[in-house]
Chain A
Amino acid sequence: MASTGFRRWTGERADQLDEFERVLGSLTGRGLSRRWAARQIAHAYAVLLASQFQGFCRDLHSECAEHIALAVAPRTLRTLVRAEFAHARRLDRGNPNPGNIGSDFNRLGLSFWTCVFRDDSRNDARQRKLQELNQWRNAITHQDFDPASLEPPRLTLRVVHSWRGACNGMAISFDRVMGDHLRSILGHASW
């Protein structure tokens, strides 16, 4: 079993990302105009990937918070626990960068990234890719490219593919780490 957030990530969120692949595959023409269109699509794809990964992280956090809140007694305290978990949640406003993700998930009672790294040794490299994705996402949305490291032509579909692969790998670990964490603190499987 997997969390609802993870099933959304591999379902409707993956479908939306796949749409970009299809659009790129249907591009016609040659030369400069095609390259320009391909670059714009790659930029839009990167922004969408960041936003869908943020949505996944937010879904997973909400789901975990609700499982924890339901275990609280007396019942009158549950709303207060829910309010605390939702209060100033960085993933509601900020990018899904490692700092924001760690800040929100740590509040659920674990050292999140330590557990994620322990879960899969590849997550260290994946986390660096996530950082890179977020830097590009900001540069694209603000149209502010650092000429030393973020030259627009460097962002190709292949690069976005590698970020998506990293997000997929991390999503699997996030889901597993939080499932294990909930089992250890609640005494039963949540998914």
Chain B
Amino acid sequence: MAARQSSKRTRPARLGVGDRVSFMFGVDRVEGVIVEDRGGLGVGGERVLRVRVQLDPWNTHEIEMPEDEFRAA
């Protein structure tokens, strides 16, 4: 467990603020933009990113998830 934590903490950042990313939202893959790097707040120190996603013309949502959940879009 300790080794896993360490590797997550030291892994170089793959994505950054302003990047377009996609992620699974329920059963659909949706796209959004990273708006904030929250740092190593995830389990085992994993980096958490805040992403803004517009699911329809009226509603913008912001979600925080570990970096591993995102793909570059």
Q: Which residues of A contact B (CB under 8 A)?
A: 4-5, 8, 59, 62-63, 65-67, 70, 76, 79-80, 82-83, 86-87, 92, 190
A79 in contact with B25 (CB, 8 Å) = yes
Interchain nearest-CB distance for A68 vs B (Å): 10
Chain B contacts of A66 at CB under 8 A?
41-43, 48, 64, 66
CA distance A48 to B10 in the complex (A): 30
A79 in contact with B48 (CB, 8 Å) = no
A/B pair count, beta carbons within 8 Å: 50
Interchain nearest-CB distance for B33 vs A (Å): 15
Chain B contacts of A76 at CB under 8 A?
24, 26-27
Q: Confirm or deny: B15 has a beta carbon within 8 angstroms of a beta carbon on chain A.
A: no
| B2-56 interface (Cβ within 8 A of A) | 23-27, 38-43, 45, 48, 50
B65 in contact with A4 (CB, 8 Å) = no
Known contacts A62-B48, A79-B69; A4 and B62 CB within 8 A of each other? no
Known contacts A63-B41, A92-B62; A80 and B26 CB within 8 A of each other? yes
B62's partner among A67, A79, A86 (CB-CB below 8 A) is: A86
B61 in contact with A65 (CB, 8 Å) = no
B43 in contact with A70 (CB, 8 Å) = yes
- The range of chain B's interface size is 20 to 34
Chain A contacts of B64 at CB under 8 A?
62, 65-66, 82, 86
Chain A contacts of B39 at CB under 8 A?
4, 8, 59
Looking at B25, B26, B41, the one whose CB has the most chain A CB atoms below 10 A away is: B41
B43 in contact with A4 (CB, 8 Å) = no
A62 in contact with B63 (CB, 8 Å) = no
CA distance A4 to B46 in the complex (A): 11
A83 in contact with B25 (CB, 8 Å) = yes
Chain A contacts of B41 at CB under 8 A?
4-5, 59, 62-63, 66
Nearest residue in B to A63 (C-beta to C-beta)?
A: B41
A82 in contact with B45 (CB, 8 Å) = no
Known contacts A59-B38, A62-B38, A76-B27; A83 and B63 CB within 8 A of each other? yes
CA distance A76 to B30 in the complex (A): 13
Known contacts A59-B41, A62-B41, A70-B43; A79 and B65 CB within 8 A of each other? yes
| Contacts A62-B38, A86-B63 supplied; 9 other A-B pairs, CB < 8 Å | A4-B45, A62-B41, A76-B27, A79-B23, A79-B25, A82-B64, A83-B25, A86-B62, A87-B61
CA distance A79 to B69 in the complex (A): 9
Chain B contacts of A79 at CB under 8 A?
23-26, 63, 65, 69
